[in-house]
């Protein structure tokens, strides 16, 4: 492609409302333009990168045994009613009502396609002989984000590769899952992304039923915990801590007398700290949950965040939810915000850190009052476990410096961009949409499913976000909009242009993606634009060089160019490109 025939609107200045690097640079480099909040047009360069990512994904999905289909973005609302996800999606689901004759048709723009694909399979797959199968598509998804932001990282319309596996057994599911997991690793590696697979909340199948693929990035919206020495990594919702139960007790000598203090209208940790001039880590936060309908007090240190999944598992409950005001009043005798373990009228479950707080501050189970110098073992007591330790649990979100659950090291908190997710779904959708198969004995079973998503735009944005310097973007060879840019320094010098044309034609013939910067602009402009866009290799042909029989080849990542004989340049560059695409 010739620059003058393409459409590459670069910008010298930063757009004022682009904050994060990926948004700023993709705008400046002429890859994208905003249409409205959360919706972007892909210009030629951006589209080329997007296509390169989809091609890699397609190759690897096919290699992993996936079968490509294309479903519709328009989906009948009825399917979401049958799986009860209208409620789950809420405002995220983009609803459309249209009239056809005298009828009103209610549909949605698909935010994901479990329903559509499961319905398809339900209608056309009946026998165990037809399974397992993994179907996938690369298609536009729509989610009404309450707050689109960060440019391309979070949009309401985006490209997603979504795959769905259908199996007759957990073994088959695990095989499909592993195949997808490995394909994802290959895809992201080929795309030149640094990524971390982390454990995510696993849902119905349990165990290692879900992994997220995260790009470590300061602006990432997700928090993940990664062990400093072993390969353990998990998102905040999922991460276990390596903390253990203990039997240490506060020495009686250190216990100060428990006192009740009036704390009018101070029902939050923050407010109580302000009134009593204490720190959150000295407080016991008492949350009243209903576990399968039965109230239970959950004790967490004041500066920690409760983790509902951990609490649910520790209680062995099917469902848990925060208790309503009435229940709280019944159990504690106080309005919301003044609960505490001393004298509470329900079961208590505590996080590991709670009994270690000596002379703690906590609610008095009485309106507008808190207790100070509350000591475990004197003022309230946890049951003892069989080994003589206090019966405590891991009930809070993991935090930086918590011990790793897998080794002796510590966890570190990193931010990440979620670029892929693999998930063992189980039979939720196949049951709801009646997707079953007959086994050898003609017994019907629900098909066991898995789903696997990749945010294609996020591959591009994630690279832009993490691979750039002061001059602009730095693309890996596999995703770069063009692999090579040819810059003839003066388009009015016929010898230079003739040589540049030759390079252009021959590199194209050698299978290289090459952009010919044939603009009649000064060298500096071409260099600045080439750096801004981030082509991996820049070929410079100038009057002096051509006269001396030399061509200049510069890698985006290196500070100095290399010089080669004019006659060898095409072959050398073609080899460089080929080598850089090998993974």
Partner RNA sequence: CGGGCUGUAGCGCAGCCUGGCUAGCGCACUUGCUUGGGGUGCAAGAGGUCGCAGGUUCAAAUCCUGUCAGCCCGACCA
Cβ distance 346 to 288 under 8 Å?
A: yes
Beta bridge partners of 370: 261, 363
**CA angle at residue 423 from 420 to 426, to 5 degrees?**
160
- The rounded distance, in Å, linking the Cα atoms of 475 and 254 is 61
Contact 22, 150 (CB under 8 A): yes
Q: Which is nearer to RNA, 477 or 539 (CB)?
A: 539
Alpha helices in 267-347 (DSSP H): 269-276, 308-315, 325-332
**Of 386 and 567, CB closest to RNA:** 567
User: What minimum distance in Å lies between the beta carbon of 89 and RNA?
Assistant: 6
Q: Are 426 and 419 in contact (CB under 8 A)?
A: no
Q: In the complex, what is the shortest distance from the CB of residue 433 to RNA, in angstroms, rounded to a whole number? A: 14
Q: What is the dihedral of CA 266, 270, 275, 278, to 10 degrees?
A: 140
Nearest distance from residue 148's CB to RNA, in Å? 6
Instruction: Considering the complex, state which of residue 10 and residue 409 has its C-beta at the smaller distance from RNA.
Output: 10
β-pair type (514-516, 484-488): parallel
Minimum CB–partner distance for residue 552 and RNA (Å)? 5
CA 356 to CA 281: how far, in whole Å?
11
Asked whether 223 and 237 are in contact (CB, 8 A), the reply is no
Q: Kindly state the smallest distance separating residue 577's Cβ from RNA, in Å.
A: 19
Q: What's the min distance (Å) between Cβ of 523 and RNA?
A: 3
Sign (positive or negative) of CA dihedral 535, 469, 160, 104? negative
Yes or no: say if 434 and 119 are a contact pair by the CB < 8 Å rule. Answer: no
Distance CA 190, CA 484 (A): 18
- Residues found near RNA in the complex (CB under 7 A): 10-17, 19-20, 23, 34, 36-38, 85, 88-89, 92, 111-112, 143, 145-150, 154, 221, 421, 423, 451, 453, 471, 489-492, 520-525, 527-529, 531-532, 540-545, 552, 554, 561
> Are the CB atoms for 450 and 424 separated by under 8 Å?
yes
Nearer to RNA, 370 or 421 (CB): 421
Whichever of 180 and 382 has its CB closer to RNA, that residue is 180
Cβ proximity to RNA, 43 vs 371, nearer residue: 43
- Strand, coil or helix: what is 30? coil
Q: Which is nearer to RNA, 331 or 485 (CB)?
A: 485
Write down the least CB distance from residue 355 to RNA, Å: 28
Task: Report, in Å, the least distance between residue 126 CB and RNA.
Answer: 26
Q: Which is nearer to RNA, 141 or 376 (CB)?
A: 141
Strands 133-142 vs 67-68: parallel, antiparallel or unpaired: parallel
Q: How far is the CB of 46 from RNA (least distance, A)?
A: 17
Query: Of the candidates 399, 208, 175, which has an alpha carbon nearest to the alpha carbon of residue 305?
Result: 399
Residue number with CB closer to RNA (371 or 530) = 530
Residue placing its CB nearer to RNA in the complex, 149 or 243: 149
Measuring CA to CA, which residue among 398, 417, 349 is closest to residue 150? 417
* C-beta neighbour count of 63 within 10 angstroms: 12
Cis peptide before 357 (omega within 30 of 0): no
Identity of the residue, 298 or 357, whose beta carbon is nearer to RNA in the bound complex: 298
Please report how close the Cβ of residue 571 comes to RNA at its closest, in angstroms: 20
CB of 251 to RNA, least distance (A): 38
Phi/psi zone of residue 220: left (φ > 0), alpha (ψ -120 to 50 degrees), beta? beta
Strand, helix or coil for residue 311? helix
Q: How far, in Å, CA of 433 to CA of 124, rounded?
A: 13
- Residue 245 or 428 with smaller CB distance to RNA: 428
Nearer to RNA, 52 or 538 (CB): 538
In angstroms, give the least distance from the CB of 505 to RNA: 20
Q: Could you tell me the CA-to-CA distances from 3 to 48, 61, 88, 432 in Å, in that order? A: 14, 34, 48, 53
The nearest distance, CB 101 to RNA, in angstroms, is 31
Instruction: Give the span between the Cα atoms of 324 and 326, in whole angstroms.
Output: 6
The structure tokens 């040819």 sit at 486
Q: How far is the CB of 340 from RNA (least distance, A)?
A: 24
Nearer to RNA, 171 or 221 (CB): 221
Give least dist CB 15 to RNA, A. 4
Tell me how many helices (H) and strands (E) the chain has: 15, 31
Q: Given the complex with RNA, which of 16 and 99 has the nearer CB atom?
A: 16
Which has the closest alpha carbon to 308: 267, 339, 349?
349
The stretches of 302-427 forming alpha helices (DSSP H) are 308-315, 325-332
> Got the DSSP string for 201-264?
--TTS-SS-EEEEEEE-TT-SEEEEEESSSS-EEETTT-------------GGGPPPPEEEE-T
């Amino acid at each position: 492609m010739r620059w003058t025939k393409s459409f590459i609107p670069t910008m010298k200045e930063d757009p004022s409302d682009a904050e994060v690097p990926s948004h700023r640079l993709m705008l400046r480099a002429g890859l994208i333009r905003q249409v409205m909040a959360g919706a972007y047009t892909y210009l030629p360069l951006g589209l080329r990168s997007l296509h390169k990512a989809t091609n890699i994904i397609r190759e690897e999905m096919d290699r992993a045994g996936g079968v490509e289909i294309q479903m519709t973005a328009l989906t009948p609302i009825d399917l979401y009613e049958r799986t009860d996800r209208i409620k789950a999606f809420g405002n995220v689901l983009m609803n459309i009502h249209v009239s056809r004759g005298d009828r009103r048709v209610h549909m949605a723009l698909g935010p994901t396609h479990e329903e559509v694909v499961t319905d398809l399979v339900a209608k056309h797959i009946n026998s165990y002989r037809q399974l397992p199968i993994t179907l996938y598509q690369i298609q536009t998804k729509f989610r009404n984000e309450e707050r689109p932001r960060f440019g391309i990282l979070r949009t309401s319309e985006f490209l997603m590769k979504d795959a769905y596996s259908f199996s007759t057994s957990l073994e088959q599911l695990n095989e499909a899952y592993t195949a997808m997991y490995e394909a994802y690793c290959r895809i992201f590696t080929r795309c030149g992304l640094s990524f971390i697979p982390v454990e995510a909340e696993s849902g119905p199948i349990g165990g290692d039923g879900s992994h997220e693929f995260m790009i470590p990035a300061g602006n990432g919206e997700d928090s993940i915990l990664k062990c400093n020495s072993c390969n353990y990594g998990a998102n905040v919702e999922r991460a276990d801590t390596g903390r253990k139960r203990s039997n240490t007790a506060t020495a009686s000598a250190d216990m100060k007398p428990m006192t009740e203090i009036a704390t009018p209208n101070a029902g939050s940790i923050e407010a109580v700290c302000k009134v009593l001039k204490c720190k959150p880590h000295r407080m016991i936060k008492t949350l009243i949950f209903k576990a399968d309908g039965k109230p239970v007090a959950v004790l967490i240190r004041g500066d920690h965040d409760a983790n509902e999944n951990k609490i649910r598992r520790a209680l062995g409950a099917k469902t848990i939810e925060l208790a309503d005001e009435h229940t709280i009043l019944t159990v504690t005798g106080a309005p919301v915000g003044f609960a505490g373990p001393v004298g509470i009228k329900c079961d208590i479950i505590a996080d590991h850190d709670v009994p270690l707080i000596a002379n703690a501050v906590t609610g008095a189970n009485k309106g507008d009052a808190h207790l100070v110098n509350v000591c475990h073992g004197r003022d309230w007591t946890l049951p003892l476990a069989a080994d003589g330790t206090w019966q405590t649990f891991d009930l809070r979100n993991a935090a930086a410096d918590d011990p790793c659950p897998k080794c002796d090291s510590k966890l570190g908190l990193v931010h990440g961009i979620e670029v892929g997710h693999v998930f063992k779904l189980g039979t939720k959708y196949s049951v709801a949409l009646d997707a079953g198969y007959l086994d050898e004995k003609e017994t019907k079973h629900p098909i066991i499913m898995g789903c696997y998503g990749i945010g294609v735009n996020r591959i591009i944005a994630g690279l832009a976000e993490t691979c750039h310097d002061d001059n602009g973007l730095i693309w890996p060879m596999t995703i770069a909009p063009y692999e090579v840019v040819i810059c003839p320094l003066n388009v009015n010098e016929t010898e230079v242009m003739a040589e540049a044309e030759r390079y252009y034609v021959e590199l194209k013939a050698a299978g290289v993606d090459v952009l010919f910067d044939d603009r009649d602009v000064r060298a500096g402009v071409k260099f600045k634009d080439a750096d801004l866009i981030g082509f991996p290799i820049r070929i410079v042909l100038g009057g002096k060089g051509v006269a001396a029989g030399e061509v200049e080849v510069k890698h985006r990542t290196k500070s100095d160019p290399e010089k080669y004989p004019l006659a060898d340049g095409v072959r050398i560059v073609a080899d460089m490109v080929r080598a850089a695409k090998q993974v």
